[in-house]
Amino acid sequence: MSEKKIHEDQKYIDGLLKNNSFIIQAIYDKFAPKVINYIKQNSGNSDKAQDIIQDTLITIYNQASENKLQLTCPFDAYFFLLCKRKWLNELKKSSSKEVTINEDVLSKGDEAQELAFETSVFGEKQALFTEMFQKLGTACKDLLTATFKIKSMEEVAKSLGVTYAYARKKKSLCIGKLTELVRESPKFNRLNN
């Protein structure tokens, strides 16, 4: 498959990543009104729209900083689809009755749809990972936090008063435990399919 062409709107992604206030402001000025309208027309209000937009931008930021997000479609379409998806999930969560939505059929070749789908899966995985991390025992949480903050396993071992070999083994077992928690959750299986 040939390299996909990067859209010029990549500047918005790069701007978010650099925490460029000017770009963030421009995103609000240009793209927020459409989202706000949509949410207001679909049982939401301005406050809800504010939350959805903010969460969406954080998800985009996280994805961009963790695994290089490359925009191959206009930011407008991508951003709107993401906000819309997030809002519909929100509605499903909060209302017991079935929400009727025109489910977006994922048509192949539709860059915006595919990209928005990837990003929203990324966001949901992050939320799930964070939730499962909290379920670990204190010992594991402490060890993992120390490991990824300090980097050098020797120093981690020293700071926790254990041997290097033990700290290393413990690290794999703790991530192993986390792997199991994640894989056992129904949500993860849904996301991976």
Partner 1 sequence: MEDQKYILFESYLSKELSEDEIIAFESRLKNESDFNQAFNTYKELTSFLEHKHDNEVASTAFQNNLKTISNTYFENKETDKKVVRFKPWQYAMAASIVLLMGIFTFNNFSNPSFNDYNNYETISLTVRGEQEDLLKAAENAFNNKDFAEAEVVFGELLAKDDSNKELQLYRSITLLELDKFDEADSLFGRLSNSPSVYKNKAIWYLALSKLKQKNHDACLEILKTIPEDVDDYIQAQELIKKLD
For the bound state, the minimum distance from the C-beta of residue 183 to partner 1, rounded and expressed in Å, comes to 6
Q: Could you please report the per-residue DSSP string of 26-80?
A: HHHHHHHHHHHHHHHHTT--HHHHHHHHHHHHHHHHHHHHHH-----S-HHHHHH
Establish if 118 lies at the interface with partner 1 (CB under 8 A). no
179 binds partner 1 (CB under 8 A): yes
- Residue 120, token pair as written in the block: 């929203």
Q: How far is the CB of 108 from partner 1 (least distance, A)?
A: 24
Which C-beta is closer to partner 1: that of 36 or that of 112?
36
By CB under 8 A, the residues from 130 to 169 that bind partner 1 are 133, 144-145, 148-149, 168-169
Q: Rank residues 32 and 99 by Cβ distance to partner 1 and give the closer one.
A: 32
Residue of 129, 155, 162, 164 interacting with partner 1 (CB under 8 A): 129
Q: At CB < 8 A and 24+ separation, what contacts does 57-64 make?
A: 57/16, 57/24, 57/27, 59/119, 59/120, 59/122, 59/123, 59/126, 60/13, 60/16, 60/119, 61/16, 61/17, 62/122, 62/123, 62/126, 63/118, 63/119, 63/122, 63/123, 64/13, 64/16, 64/17
Distance CA(6)–CA(4), nearest Å, equals 6
Selected from 45, 54, 159, 163, the binder of partner 1 by CB under 8 A is 54
Contact flags string 6-45 toward partner 1, x per CB under 8 A: -----x---xx--x-xxxxxx-xx--x---x---------
CB of 134 to partner 1, least distance (A): 13
Quote the tokens at residue 68: 């290089």
Nearest distance in Å: CB 66, partner 1: 5
19: left (phi over 0), alpha (psi -120 to 50) or beta: left
Q: Which residues bind partner 1 (CB under 8 A)?
A: 11, 15-16, 19, 21-26, 28-29, 32, 36, 46, 50, 53-54, 57-58, 61-62, 65-67, 125-126, 129, 133, 144-145, 148-149, 168-169, 171-173, 175-176, 178-180, 182-183, 188
